[in-house]
Amino acid sequence: MSLTDVKIKQAKPREKLYKISDERGLYLEVAPSGGKWWRFKYRIDGKEKRLSLGVYPDVGLKVARERRDDNRKLVADGVDPSTHRKAQKLARAGANASSFEVVAREWFEKQKTVWADSHADKIIRRLERDVFPWLGKRPIADIKPMEVLTVLQRIETRVVETAHRAQQNCGQVFRYAVATGRAERDITADLKGALTPWREEHFASITDPEKIGPLLRDLYAYKGTFEVQCCLRMAPHVFVRPAELRLAEWREFDLADGRWDIPGERMKMKQPHIVPLSAQVVEILRELHPLTGDGVFVFRGRNPRSAISDNTVNKALRTMGYSTKDDITGHGFRAMARTVLDEVLEFRVDWIEHQLAHMVRDPNGRAYNRTAFLEGRQQMMQAWSDYLDQLRVLPEDV
């Protein structure tokens, strides 16, 4: 006799597992714990086999019968339902393992180890918000250029720059897929010229020595808090990235040895960095130490337990009349040092690049360690500070 919903509900657990038959191979298995499982019994190649069709009540009687009928058709065609299910599972796993989102996240996890946290956050947010909803589930090898272009054009209507950056990230993902055998080529190369042109704007900077002098005098005349005054005075001398400077901690400095060791977790490339300190920088820090030396951060903010904000330096520059769009930003001190150290003071480019914490490689393609050229960089940093002092002093004061 076939089952009914009433009979299934009334089936109580017993001391041992038992089953209640429906028809055409379908039956319900009732466990001592009270659980109820649908099973399908069939024969293939002369062997009796069983297949699970789900758990009651999640799978009701009607659905269980539909699943039974689907599997009976497979048996009639000479296909083992169990083998068929495993093949489908493997196919889904293979497709999922090669989906754009899976490949992209795999690429991201590898790359983020050498990125600053803020940079990594921007990239993954961009992918999650603007790309994954439309391309994420697609097998990466099946995606066509027009599909990517449609996604990019959707972004372009909002921000052209973001669309270009998303195209760059997609290209990186496709190239990673090629390298790992999951795609044949980077299809974003076909989209060259398809988006509205956009040119990346570099950080505003002052590189003319005749304009650097007045800027330095303005920095030393700034009337803000003493912490910000010291930060502004120190910035052009050390030319580190703004976040590396404002988040500086006293424990990182050895003033006696004239050295600042920035830990890797605060660097863009996730590698520890050494900044040789000139006598001028050591003097600035010794003067500031009585005010903030009992805390963690060198440039302490309004909250004694935190550093100055990420906009403090640029806001101070605007207060002094410098446009952070056309004149100078906190990041612009790096371009200033890079240009003048090379073109005016004529220091070795590899020393400069290493001091900027850029990736510098030896003739064999290996990255130099953080102590490379340290003696030469110490001489360079002192010469740079001496040169800045010369520019800062008015001719009539000499």
Q: 173 lies in a domain?
A: yes
pLDDT digits (tens, 9 = 90+) for 339-368: 899 888 989 888 898 899 887 665 555 566
- Check pLDDT > 80 for residue 114: no
* 349 and 287 co-located in one domain: yes
* 71 and 112 co-located in one domain: no
pLDDT digits (tens, 9 = 90+) for 177-235: 999 998 999 999 999 999 998 765 555 677 788 888 888 999 999 988 999 999 999 99
Domain boundary among 42, 65, 97: 97
Q: 197 lies in a domain?
A: no
CATH number, domain with residue 59: 3.30.160.390
Residue 112's alpha-carbon distances to 118, 124, 163, in angstroms, are: 10, 10, 21
Range of the domain at 302: 209-397
pLDDT digits (tens, 9 = 90+) for 68-81: 999 999 888 888 88
- The Cα 288–Cα 297 span in angstroms is 11
- Check pLDDT > 90 for residue 321: no
- Check pLDDT > 70 for residue 21: yes
**Residue 360 and residue 354 in contact, taking contact as beta carbons nearer than 8 Å:** yes
pLDDT band at residue 324 using 50, 70 and 90 as cut-offs: low
* 13 and 136 co-located in one domain: no
Q: 368 lies in a domain?
A: yes
**Residue 191 and residue 145 in contact, taking contact as beta carbons nearer than 8 Å:** yes
- The Cα 264–Cα 317 span in angstroms is 28
Q: How many CB atoms lie within 10 A of CB 77?
A: 8
115-119, 314-318, 357-361, 380-384: which has the highest mean pLDDT?
A: 380-384
* 68 and 174 co-located in one domain: no
pLDDT digits (tens, 9 = 90+) for 223-272: 889 999 999 999 999 999 989 999 999 999 999 999 999 998 888 878 89
**Residue 97, strand partner residues:** none
- The Cα 216–Cα 386 span in angstroms is 13
List CB contacts of 371: < 8 A, sequence separation 6 or more: 274
pLDDT band at residue 82 using 50, 70 and 90 as cut-offs: confident
* 236 and 352 co-located in one domain: yes
DSSP, collapsed to helix, strand or coil, labels residue 238 as helix
* 267 and 151 co-located in one domain: no
The mean pLDDT value of the chain amounts to 88
- The Cα 298–Cα 290 span in angstroms is 11
Domain boundary among 59, 77, 97: 97
Q: 201 lies in a domain?
A: no
* 318 and 238 co-located in one domain: yes
DSSP, collapsed to helix, strand or coil, labels residue 193 as coil
Q: 204 lies in a domain?
A: no
The residue count for the chain:
398
Q: Print the SS3 string covering 344-396.
A: CCCCCHHHHHHHCCCCCECCCCCECCCCCCHHHHHHHHHHHHHHHHHHHCCHH
- Check pLDDT > 80 for residue 93: no
Q: Print the SS3 string covering 37-63.
A: EEEEEEEECCEEEEEEEEEECCCCHHH
* 318 and 339 co-located in one domain: yes
Q: 219 lies in a domain?
A: yes
CATH number, domain with residue 256: 1.10.443.10
CATH number, domain with residue 135: 1.10.150.130
- Check pLDDT > 80 for residue 149: yes
pLDDT value at position 202?
53
Q: 272 lies in a domain?
A: yes
* 132 and 248 co-located in one domain: no
DSSP, collapsed to helix, strand or coil, labels residue 294 as coil
pLDDT band at residue 31 using 50, 70 and 90 as cut-offs: very high
**Residue 139, strand partner residues:** 99
* 276 and 333 co-located in one domain: yes
Cis peptide before 139 (omega within 30 of 0): no
* 346 and 363 co-located in one domain: yes
- The Cα 218–Cα 215 span in angstroms is 5
* 111 and 164 co-located in one domain: yes
pLDDT value at position 105?
92
* Catalytic machinery residues: 241, 268, 331, 334, 358, 368
Q: 51 lies in a domain?
A: yes
User: To which H or E segment does residue 154 belong?
Assistant: helix 145-156
Residue 283's alpha-carbon distances to 105, 234, 255, 287, in angstroms, are: 47, 10, 9, 6
Domain boundary among 78, 97, 116: 97
Least confident piece of the model among 43-52, 72-81, 91-100, 350-359: 91-100
Number of structural domains found in the chain: 3
Q: How many CB atoms lie within 10 A of CB 25?
A: 17
- The Cα 88–Cα 258 span in angstroms is 65
